[in-house]
Amino acid sequence: MKFHAPLVRGTLVQRYKRFMADVMLDTGETVTAHCANSGAMAGLKEPGSVVWLSPAANPDRKLKYSWELIEADGDLVGINTSHPNHIVAEAIRAGAIDALTGYGALRQEVKYGKNSRIDILLEDAGRPPCYVEVKNVHLRRGGTLAEFPDAVTARGTKHLLELGDMVEAGHRAVMFYLVQRMDCDRFAIARDIDPVYDAGLVAARARGVEVLCYACRLTTEEITVDRPLSLTI
C-alpha cells in the first residue's frame, strides 16, 4: 500500500481523546492530526517521538493530516488501523500469502453473521468460501514478541465467535494478525490484557478457525506484507 502523497515529518506533542494528536512539524507549525487508532498504543505515544503524517486527500476535511507512522526504538511502526484490511487484500491479490492463494474472487466488507462485516471474503468455484478477519498489531513490550490486543476488545471476541460459526456452517475461516512493525519475529496473545479474548481464540481454534500472522515492511513511501511470524499461542 503506497501512501497517496509524500508524508510530512514532525514531533509528537501529545495524543489525546484517543483520536487526536498534536504534532509540531519540522517547519515549526503545530497541527492537530487524526489518530485512526482506538487502542492504548503503549510505547507508541511518547511526546518528543518522531512521527509521520499524511496530508488529507480531501481539502475540505476538518483535520488536514492523519498520523501514519512513529519512530520507536529505531524502527518505523504503523499506527493507522484503517490500513491493514487493504494491505492484506493487496498481498492476497499479489499471491504473497501462501495459505490464501487459489481464489478467483476477493471481496471486502461483506455482511455476515449477526450485524457484522467480514474484512475479506475469498471465493472460488468448487471450494468453500474463506472468511478472513484482519486485526492490526503494534504492541511490543519487550524482545521480539508482537502481541494482541493492546486493550480489551469485546468486538474482537465477537468476531472470533462468528468465525467459528462460519466453520461449523461448512466454510473456511482465518484470523489474520498484521504486525505493522519490523522488529518482531514471534506473535502471542496478550492474555494479561484481555483474558476473555485469549479464551475466545482458544475456543475458535478448537472449532477449526485458522490463525495467520505476518509482519510488515514499512517505509515513508509504503507499507507492504513482508514475512510470516511464528505463533506462540
The per-residue pLDDT for 114 is 80
Residues 182, 126: one domain? yes
Residues 67, 36: one domain? yes
The per-residue pLDDT for 200 is 98
Looking at the structure of the chain, the number of domains it has is 2
The per-residue pLDDT for 58 is 86
Of 118, 197, 115, 100, the C-alpha closest to 150 is: 197
Joined together, the cell numbers standing for residue 132 give 478472513
Q: How far apart are alpha carbons 2 and 224 in whole angstroms? A: 8
Residues 49, 118: one domain? no
The per-residue pLDDT for 84 is 97
The per-residue pLDDT for 57 is 86
In a domain, 62, yes or no: yes
Residues 51, 132: one domain? no
The per-residue pLDDT for 113 is 81
The per-residue pLDDT for 60 is 84
Domain of 58: which CATH number? 2.40.50.580
Residues 59, 104: one domain? no
Residues 61, 109: one domain? no
Strand ranges (E), the chain = 8-16, 20-25, 30-34, 50-55, 65-72, 75-78, 105-112, 116-124, 127-137, 139-140, 145-148, 172-179, 186-189, 210-218, 223-228, 230-231
Do the beta carbons of residue 147 and residue 186 sit within 8 Å? Answer: no
In a domain, 30, yes or no: yes
Which residue, 36, 59, 78, sits at the end of a domain? 78
In a domain, 1, yes or no: no
Which residue, 37, 63, 78, sits at the end of a domain? 78
In a domain, 46, yes or no: yes
Prediction pTM value:
0.96
For 92-119, b/e burial (b = at least 16 CB within 10 A) is: beeebbeebeebeebeeeeebeeeeebb
Give pLDDT tens digits for 59-115: 888 999 999 999 998 999 999 999 999 999 999 999 999 999 999 999 999 999 888
Residues 94, 201: one domain? yes
In a domain, 170, yes or no: yes
Residues 49, 111: one domain? no
In a domain, 135, yes or no: yes
Name the stretches of the chain with pLDDT < 50: none
Mean pLDDT of the chain: 96
Residues 66, 92: one domain? no
Domain that residue 217 falls in: 84-231
Which residue, 54, 78, 102, sits at the end of a domain? 78
Domain of 224: which CATH number? 3.40.1350.60
The per-residue pLDDT for 134 is 98
